[in-house]
Amino acid sequence: MADRTSSSITIRSGRTEIMTVIADLEAYPKWASGIREFTVQETGADGRARRATLTFDGGPFSDTVGLLYDWTGDDRVSWELVDKGNVVTGLHGSYSLEEVRDGTEVTYELAVDVRVPMIGMVKRKAEKRITDSALKGLKRHVEG
């Protein structure tokens, strides 16, 4: 899973406010398209999710997977698949936040593997659609 898709967006807000929204996994269905449910199963000492279950409805694929999270303050969060779904067999992702002049640049990286054979170009296009949609939803939610 070496190939990752990456997208960035600038949000007119500070890192802490944005990371607070990102860390509230159970609220994702309210602003992140395709996310049906997020359930935090275990939290770390900082109160943020350590393990969670994600149910998504992504067009041709719907699935439920288990994710393990690693938080680096308000700078970065990454996650990886620990419980495969019926379709998703691999998943690595991250949000990185960097303050810039007009707010905070948020970069979302994602790599997904599925049981169904997919041409690399089609897979990257799907990942790009997911990352772009997530960033736009995050921006609308934070700035709205």
Write out pLDDT tens, residues 72-87: 999 999 999 999 999 8
Which strands make up the sheet holding 5-11, listed edge to edge? 5-11, 103-114, 88-100, 76-83, 61-72, 49-58, 35-43
Domain locations in the chain as residue ranges: 5-143
Q: How do residues 1-58 score in pLDDT, each as one tens digit?
A: 447 789 999 999 999 999 999 999 999 999 998 899 999 999 999 999 999 999 998 6
pTM for the model = 0.90
Residue in 26, 34, 4, 8 with CA at minimum distance from that of residue 139: 8
**5-143: which CATH number, 3.90.870.10, 3.30.530.20, 3.30.413.10, 3.30.420.40?**
3.30.530.20
